[in-house]
Amino acid sequence: MGWKYFIKKINEFNDLVALKATLIIATMWCVYAFAVMVMIPFFIPSTTSIIQFISSAFLQLLFLPLIMVGQDVQGRKSEARAQQDHETIMAEMAELKAIHKDLHTVMASNGMICINCSNSIVQSDNLDISK
């Protein structure tokens, strides 16, 4: 357990915090809470300066980078899923190609000739079978 292990764990923790915070902040409930917060100075004028400080300094400086990091984490996870899907599809395609090759071998051994494989037209003597 060297430094790389601890750095990896810290990065995993940071990603988890950013992801959870993004999932919480990017909700309509958070929008409603901010809307209520913005309305407070209309009812209690003495709170104007503190609300301005909270909204301009605290929320913008904290939440904007936090959401950006959370979206980056979501993007990386989405990319990993897309890569995994691609690998699965390519493996299935290779399997289908092998089955197709075996089908051609069986058809040829039974006297069936594939006229146009791209259109899936199979001909045996006078029999045409089309998709």
In this prediction, residues 49-69 reach a mean pLDDT of 84
What's residue 130's pLDDT? Answer: 46
What is the total count of domains within the chain? Answer: 1
Q: Which residue has the higher pLDDT, 124 or 106?
A: 106
Kindly list the strands in the beta sheet with 127-129, ordered across the sheet, starting from the edge strand earlier in the chain.
Answer: 113-116, 121-124, 127-129
Can you read off the two tokens belonging to residue 48?
A: 């104007």
Query: What average pLDDT does range 45-51 have in this prediction?
Result: 88
Quick: pLDDT tens for 10-26: 999 999 998 898 888 88
- In the block, residue with structure tokens 């990896």: 8
Average pLDDT over residues 76-83: 93
User: What DSSP designation does 26 have?
Assistant: S
pLDDT of residue 116: 56
Does the structure show a pLDDT above 60 at 118?
no
Q: Is the pLDDT of residue 70 over 80?
A: yes
Q: Tokens 């690998």 label which residue?
A: 87
State the pLDDT at residue 114.
62
Look at the pTM and tell me if it is higher than 0.75.
Answer: no
State how far the Cα of 121 lies from the Cα of 115, in Å rounded to an integer.
6
Q: What are the structure tokens assigned to 10, written together?
A: 């810290």
pLDDT of residue 79: 94
Range(s) of the domain holding residue 124: 3-129
**Helix ranges (DSSP H) in the chain:** 3-25, 28-43, 48-53, 60-109
